[in-house]
A and B are shown apart, each in its own frame.
Chain A
Amino acid sequence: MLSKNLIAKFAEIAGKNVWTEEEDLMCYAYDASFGEMCVPEIVVKPETAEQVGRIVRLCCEENIPLVTRGAGTNLSGGTLPIKGGCVLLMSGLNKILEINTEDMYAVVQSGVITADLAMAVSAKGLLYPPDPGSMKMSTIGGNVAENAGGLRALKYGVTGDYVMGTKFFDIEGNAVIAGGKTVKMVTGFNLSGLMISSEGLLGVMTEHTLKLVPQPQASRSMLVIYDDLMKASVTVSEIIGAKITPATLELMDRFTIKTVEEGTRIGLPTDADGLLLIEVDGHPAAVEDEYAKIKEICNKLGGKVHIAETLEERDKLWEARRKALSSLARLKPTLILEDATVPRSRIPEMMQCIKDITVKYDLTVGTFGHAGDGNLHPTILTDKRNKDEMVRVEKAIDEIFASALKLEGTISGEHGIGSAKAKYLESEVGAGTIRFMKKLKDGLDPKNLLNPHKMGL
């Protein structure tokens, strides 16, 4: 419990947007991760960058742990206030400050919802490519802090590839300006780069300058059906090997296909073992050419190709992909979505590992994911009340990550480390890297007030 005096100090800065009632605190004791509830002591929602700076400084002076929260959609426990303290909501900083079509950049506050930015940009004929599955609710600040990727990441890259500049406050409340509006900029350390994937551990970001690109002129989508999932996985490696970069290349396994079809009746083949959803975009001539080559590769590997001829058909195909998670989610009370990622040539091996682990621990797992960039989402369906099964789930997750690392992959392709994956971090990066990160963190935040305990720091 914070003292009345302290609460008043917060209220002096953020007015009525300060909450300390039990029921308000309980609303920030969770995020989208599968973790234990952690209750903060105070919740504030600043509305200007200046207020953010003052709140950060106050927390620093009073030794109050500070957790920055965007939309709380991270799947790794990144916004759980493990040490209590203050949860700082960014939803009040939600203005798009500028969309510059000449120099092709946008300046936005951190609390802007990704889809709102994407829509505003597209209304001006440009494209902001990062499109995480959560874009309708996640914030730009959260995207930068997690370096979120999306369906288009294969060709267009992830959020980090679009950050030109970021303004943030360090723990003392000093305003830091990183990067800016020029394409080239080498003034000092690459501090915007430092903030990418920083998960709220190094500072509180308030504003971002983001690169925009022209909208592609044409696109084509196809659905390819396989009677053997392994052949679908091999297709992925071959397409990449043929030096073609589709905008999207998504994979779904038999269990997921069946579940999606049962839930939606889109018309997916329920006897298929795997399917790929592929979209190429760009100049019309290039699109036709790439599309013909991909079709040939798919046919060669026994894939049956269905092409979307109209916009409606295209939407229908993507609906199948979008419905993957939701259809799985309806089967069991608890859903644990993992994020193992491997170099894309190793997808077939990784798919095999997941299959074996599922059998070994007798679990229900549906796997789908961004096969084009090696990012798979083995999704475990369980019930957290079933203690016996939860033990097996935990072991399976350990093994999934161990397998990904053995295949020279990573424990997180896009969902971050947070508290959920902290225990695996060292096994991927080694003790030296952890020490380096620790020193960095200690130097910038000696009292360890910024999102403590995340990434094990």
Chain B
Amino acid sequence: MDELLKELHELEEMMLQCMKCGTCQSDCPLYRTDGRESSVARGKISLLQSVYEGRIENAGRILKHLDQCLLCTRCLKACPSGVKTDEIFLRGREVLRRIKKLPKWQKLILKTAMEKPELMARMAPLMHMGLKFGSKKIKDGIYRPMIPGLGGRNVVEIKSEAFVKKYGGLNRADNEIMRVVFYPGCAVNLIYTEWGTAVVEVLRHFGVSVYVPETNICCGIPAASMGELEMYRNAVKANYDALAVYKDAAYIITSCPTCRYGLYEMGPKQTGAECPLTVVDILVFLEEILSVRLQTGAEGRSTIHFPCHYQDSKKGLVENFVRSSTNTEYMKLDNQSCCGFAGTFSIKYYERSKGFSRSKIEEMKDKKTDKVYIPCPGCAMQLADAAAREGLDAEVTHPVTELYNFIKEIK
């Protein structure tokens, strides 16, 4: 307990910055659904303070409130005082977690994903099979599993071959103007492999050679969100070491905003180490660095879901991209909330997380959208599940796949 208090005290400096103004209520998706202080940043910070100031003895009890957070960073962005809510919650969880240990099965999956990435890739065909046997195919690539543990969630197919198996190594462009590293992250490596293909092929088309690491090491954010910060730090450092090898690459490209956040924003803060290269989202890279102008033939009524971890300053860029590179009629969503996936949140609190995605799908139904562009695989999984559940027949995809489809056609 003394040890714990000491560590909480280290958070004190950060937490003192919170003046309890309540501004964080304005955008917190959890608070907007339940109106309770324990959901919102101000309440969570007060709870942590109550522990170290001795008003709450049983620190373990507040863990559930800290756990029930999407880590969507909306409070971080809204906070006038610049309270680093994301850091406070991550570290707070780490400390409190020591009291209440993680369930064994969660730890096992985590450990495998973090520490034996090759094993994950090798297990892909197995998981692929397992999913097929244990579930019912309800749509192309979407399955309703019969495994009770998943709570009836529709899952996106796990591919029989991991992305890095096929693309690992240097993928040379014909008229090479530069080299980059593509960091697929677990979801693209195992599930949305076609996004990975699109990224590599589109880059090659524009003269960019792409290194794909032979082994995909998880960015570590899932571990962090479960309060296993040490595991996260190790993952970040392992990634930095692995990525430092690509000395002639100019950037690290990713198609997962959470990976970018984990490696490039939170990573340095938690490890004190620097990421060897600048990490850029694929759309930002295409627009800002390559200045790509391509008019694909994509049609229909489209909308965009903006992932929480997508850089705020670049959200307009995604809209521009969809507007200028497709022929779709773009309908902006009024509901700009989190999709509810939030890494492990949707596994632990599936019922609650369903509420967030449901309200988004309702609006998409109202607006009759048949294409949902999502530049994040996690959000795509969540909304693909919700769309299947709520009966919205819409294609859920990354904008870069449109470019790839187009390039394939003209070749």
Contact = CB atoms under 8 A, between A and B. Distances in A.
A127 B23 CA distance: 23
Nearest to B23: A137
B261 to A, nearest CB: 22
Interface in A24-82: 24, 26-32, 34, 37, 39, 45, 71-73
Interface range for B: 20 to 34
A269 to B, nearest CB: 23
Contact of B16 (A30, A73, A115, A333): A333
Contacts of B47: 23, 26-27
Contact of B61 (A23, A31, A115): A23
Nearest to A323: B80
**Prevailing SS type, chain B contact patch:** loop
Contacts of A329: 17, 19, 21, 80-82
Nearest to B50: A26
Contacts of A136: 23, 25-26
A29 B46 contact: yes
Interface residues of A, number: 37
Given A22-B58, A45-B36, A111-B35, A333 B46 contact: no
A23 B67 CA distance: 14
Contact of B81 (A23, A30, A89, A326): A326
Interface string A203-244: 000000000000000000000000000000000000000000
Interface string A129-170: 000001011000000000000000000000000000000000
B138 interface: no
A251 interface: no
B52 to A, nearest CB: 12
A72 B46 CA distance: 14
Contacts of B35: 45, 89, 91-92, 94, 111
B37 A134 contact: no
A376 B178 CA distance: 57
A24 B65 CA distance: 10
Interface string A256-268: 0000000000000
Contacts, number: 89
Contacts of B26: 115, 136-137
Contacts of B82: 326, 329-330
Interface in B69-83: 79-82
A28 B56 contact: no
Contacts of A91: 35-36
Contacts of A31: 20, 22
B355 to A, nearest CB: 16
A289 interface: no
A45 B21 CA distance: 21
B62 interface: yes
Interface string A94-134: 10000000000000000100010000000000000000001
Contacts of A333: 13, 16-17
B302 interface: no
B121 to A, nearest CB: 42
Interface in B1-54: 13, 16-17, 19-23, 25-26, 35-38, 43, 46-47, 50
B17 A71 contact: no
B22 A71 contact: yes
A309 interface: no
Interface of B: 13, 16-17, 19-23, 25-26, 35-38, 43, 46-47, 50, 55-56, 58, 61-62, 65, 79-82
Sort A-B residue pairs by CB-CB distance and give the 10 closest, nearest first.
A91-B35, A326-B80, A27-B37, A136-B26, A329-B81, A137-B25, A333-B16, A27-B43, A73-B22, A330-B82
10 contacts: A22-B58, A27-B46, A31-B20, A71-B25, A115-B26, A325-B80, A330-B17, A330-B81, A383-B16, A385-B16
Given A23-B61, A32-B20, 20 more contacts: A23-B38, A23-B47, A27-B43, A28-B37, A29-B55, A30-B46, A31-B20, A39-B55, A71-B25, A72-B37, A73-B22, A89-B35, A111-B35, A134-B22, A329-B80, A330-B17, A333-B13, A333-B16, A383-B16, A385-B16
